């Protein structure tokens, strides 16, 4: 699947051109999540990749799902590939790309209605695929130049529902932060981890915090907060990529970053934040201790849990707010 559909950084994107540019399956590991690998596959039906042997040649079994992309009508070779994938019980999605070009062309008409145009293109694709033997095809209209528009949310929702649980969140976090819906789902997914991370940091490889009756694993917390930072695309490389894509000066995105965590996420910073959170943590530690007696026979375990939880929630809130500000600035260019 071409990496450009996922907004992968330019220096790792798959080559494109008017002639065949992909002659063998090529892997593009996500720059932040190396377990998420996008494969750019050769076109089906070419001289070297016949439709009837295509799945065997590209080692079909190693992929979780397929995205079949066409910039115009889907060809018979695309249909043949889809029916073979369907027979082998794998998931696949049709993406009609360059949809922004079609919309711009239709805008010349006096009776232009974007929703009707998109519905007509989508239904034309679906009817053509069904007519050629594809059962219940899922068709999504996408523009790599306007990734936040059109069907990107619907595509993400569909894949999220159909992937196994352990792969669902990984795919979500790897997606570029290009719509408010994706942003909110990322925040919810990361928020669901706070309780687990607080419990883990309070109970495993405990390190005492000087001056406090708190034991926690600071390294775990540093890693977790950096995960928030990366998932929301607040690192310099992500901001520069967004700047190039949206043609907005990167300085305008940097100006949206208000949290001190954008400057430094280190063990020293985490210890200071835990110290600050300990006061509020003491008010809920007794309740937590009653709920989680396995934290130990002393209230220190409950205090550690409560303080860590409050601290992580605060960090997530700050970074999510910055990411939302960056996204809102980016979306201004698409109005």
Write down the pLDDT at residue 303: 67
Write down the pLDDT at residue 301: 59
Write down the pLDDT at residue 140: 92
Q: In 121-154, which positions are buried (b, 16+ CB within 10 angstroms) versus exposed (e)?
A: bbeebbeebeeeebeebbbbbbbbebbbbbbbbb
pLDDT in tens, the chain (335 residues): 333 333 333 334 444 444 445 567 888 888 778 778 888 887 776 677 776 777 788 888 888 888 888 887 777 777 878 887 888 888 888 998 888 888 888 887 777 888 888 888 888 888 888 888 888 888 999 887 777 788 888 888 888 788 777 677 787 888 888 888 889 999 999 998 898 887 776 665 455 555 444 556 778 889 999 999 999 999 998 999 888 888 889 999 999 999 999 999 998 898 888 877 765 544 444 444 444 444 444 455 566 777 788 889 999 999 999 999 999 998 885 54
Distance CA 307, CA 279 (A): 8
Write down the pLDDT at residue 209: 54
- What DSSP state is assigned to residue 112? -
Write down the pLDDT at residue 324: 94
**DSSP strand E in 174-314: where?**
207-208, 215-216
Distance CA 93, CA 140 (A): 8
Q: Are 90 and 74 in contact (CB under 8 A)?
A: no
CA distances from 218 to 23, 198, 240, 300, 311 (A): 47, 11, 30, 16, 12
Q: Are 78 and 68 in contact (CB under 8 A)?
A: yes
Contacts of residue 241, Cβ cutoff 8 Å, sequence gap at least 6: 7, 9, 10
Write down the pLDDT at residue 13: 47
Q: Are 216 and 274 in contact (CB under 8 A)?
A: yes
Three-state DSSP class for residue 311: helix
Three-state DSSP class for residue 69: strand
Distance CA 140, CA 80 (A): 19
Write down the pLDDT at residue 6: 31
| Model-wide pTM > 0.75 | no
Distance CA 196, CA 215 (A): 16
């Amino acid at each position: 699947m071409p990496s450009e559909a996922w907004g992968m950084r330019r220096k790792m994107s798959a080559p494109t051109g008017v002639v065949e540019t992909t002659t063998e399956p090529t892997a593009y590991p996500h720059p932040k999540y190396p377990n998420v690998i996008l494969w750019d596959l050769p076109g089906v039906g070419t001289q070297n990749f016949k439709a009837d042997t295509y799945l065997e040649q590209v080692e079909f079994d190693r992929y979780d799902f397929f995205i079949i992309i066409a910039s115009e009508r889907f060809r018979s070779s695309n249909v043949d590939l889809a029916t073979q994938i369907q027979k082998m019980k794998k998931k696949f999605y049709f993406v009609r790309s360059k949809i922004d070009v079609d919309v711009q062309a239709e805008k010349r008409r006096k009776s232009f209605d974007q929703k009707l145009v998109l519905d007509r293109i989508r239904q034309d694709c679906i009817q053509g695929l069904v007519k050629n033997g594809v059962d219940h095809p899922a068709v999504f209209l996408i523009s790599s130049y306007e990734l936040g528009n059109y069907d990107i949310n619907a595509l993400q929702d569909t894949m999220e529902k159909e992937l196994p649980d352990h792969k669902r969140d990984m795919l979500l976090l790897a997606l570029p932060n290009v719509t408010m819906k994706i942003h909110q789902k990322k925040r919810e997914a990361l928020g669901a981890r706070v309780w687990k991370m607080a419990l883990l940091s309070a109970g495993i490889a405990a390190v005492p915090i000087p001056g406090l009756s708190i034991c926690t694993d600071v390294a775990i917390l540093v890693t977790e907060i950096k995960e928030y930072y990366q998932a929301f695309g607040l690192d310099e490389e992500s901001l520069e990529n967004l700047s190039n894509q949206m043609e907005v000066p990167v300085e305008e995105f940097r100006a949206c970053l208000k949290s001190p965590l954008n400057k430094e996420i280190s063990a020293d910073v985490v210890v200071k934040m835990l110290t600050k959170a300990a006061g509020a943590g003491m008010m809920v530690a007794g309740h937590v201790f009653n709920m989680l007696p396995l934290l130990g026979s002393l209230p220190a375990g409950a205090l550690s849990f409560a303080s860590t939880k409050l601290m992580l929630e605060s960090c997530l809130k700050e970074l999510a707010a910055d990411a939302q500000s960056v996204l809102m600035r980016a979306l201004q260019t698409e109005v």
